[in-house]
Amino acid sequence: MDINDFFKNRRTIRKYSSQNVSDELLRDIIEQASHAPTTGNMQLYSVVVTRTKEGKERLLPMHFNQPSVAGCSVLLTFCADFNRFEKWCEASDAVPGYNNFQSFITAFLDTAIFAQQFCTIAEMYGLGCCYLGTTTYNAPQIAQELNLPDRVVPVTTLTVGYPDGDVLLSDRIPVAGLIHNEKYVDFSSDEIKLLYSEKEAREDSCRFVAENGKSSLAQVFTDVRYTREANEHFSKIYKDFIESKGFAI
C-alpha cells in the first residue's frame, strides 16, 4: 500500500452495497481503534452499534433523513462517556470530580480521536464511511433512543459499509494555508483569495453557487448550509443537553 496515495485519495462514502459488515470485522476494527491516543489512558468513550433496519429507521429523522443512514450496513454513534469511568472510581473508593467543562472536553476529544481511528482503519479494510454532523444537532433525541445515561453524550456518528461505486474526490485548500511556522501569521485578502481559488473554481462548487442563487461559494456556506440562526439554535440545544447530562459548562 502506498500510504501517501491512500490518504490523499480517500473519499467519504455515502452509498453502500448490500454486502454486510460482519460482527467479527466490526469488533476487530473497534478493538484496533481503541488503541488510539487517550487522555491519561482513561478511554472516555463508548460506541453504540445500530444494525437493524428498525433501529436505523428510528434514528433516520434525527439525522435529517440522510440516505446513508438507511443504506449503510452499520450505524455507529460515538459517545463521550464518563459514566463508566466514574462508576469504576466509586467502586474503588475514589471520589470523582468530572462534572465540569474541562472533563467534558477531555471526553469529547477522546471520542473524536477514537472515531477517526476507527474511520481510518475501516477504510484501510476497504470499507466506506461518512461522518454525520447532525449528531450534535439532535443529541437529546438520539440519547433517548439509545438509552444514554448521565455523563454520556453523543459526539458523532459514522455510517459504515462496503462502497457502491466511486465518488468525486473532495477538495482541500493548499497545505500552505494550514502551516504556520513558530507563530500564526494571518492572511491578507489576496492570500485568502488564492488559497480558496481552486476550491471556488471546481465544477461542483460553481453548481452549488448557481443552484442556490448566490454570488460566491462562501455565501452558500454562510447563507444556506451553516447559517448564524441555525448555529445559534443548535448550539443552545447541545449546551443545554450537555448540562442536563451532568456537565457544568
Domain of residue 60, CATH code: 3.40.109.10
Rounded mean pLDDT of 40-52? 98
Would 87 be classed as within a structural domain? yes
Residue positions counted in the chain = 249
Rounded mean pLDDT of 85-108? 98
Would 77 be classed as within a structural domain? yes
Rounded mean pLDDT of 70-98? 98
Check residue 81 and give its pLDDT.
Answer: 98
The pLDDT-based confidence of 4 (bands split at 50, 70, 90) is: confident
Check residue 46 and give its pLDDT.
Answer: 98
Check residue 229 and give its pLDDT.
Answer: 98
Check residue 138 and give its pLDDT.
Answer: 98
Domain housing 74: 3-168
Would 207 be classed as within a structural domain? no
Looking at every residue in the chain, the average pLDDT score rounds to 97
Would 210 be classed as within a structural domain? no
Rounded mean pLDDT of 152-180? 95
Render pLDDT for 102-156 as a digit per residue (tens, 0 to 9).
999 999 999 999 999 999 999 999 999 999 999 999 999 999 999 999 999 999 9
Render pLDDT for 191-244 as a digit per residue (tens, 0 to 9).
999 999 999 999 999 999 999 999 999 999 999 999 999 999 999 999 999 999
Check residue 184 and give its pLDDT.
Answer: 98
Q: Is a pLDDT exceeding 70 seen at residue 80?
A: yes
The pLDDT-based confidence of 3 (bands split at 50, 70, 90) is: confident
Task: Indicate the number of domains in the chain.
Answer: 1
Would 91 be classed as within a structural domain? yes
Would 223 be classed as within a structural domain? no
Would 230 be classed as within a structural domain? no
Check residue 1 and give its pLDDT.
Answer: 66
Would 9 be classed as within a structural domain? yes
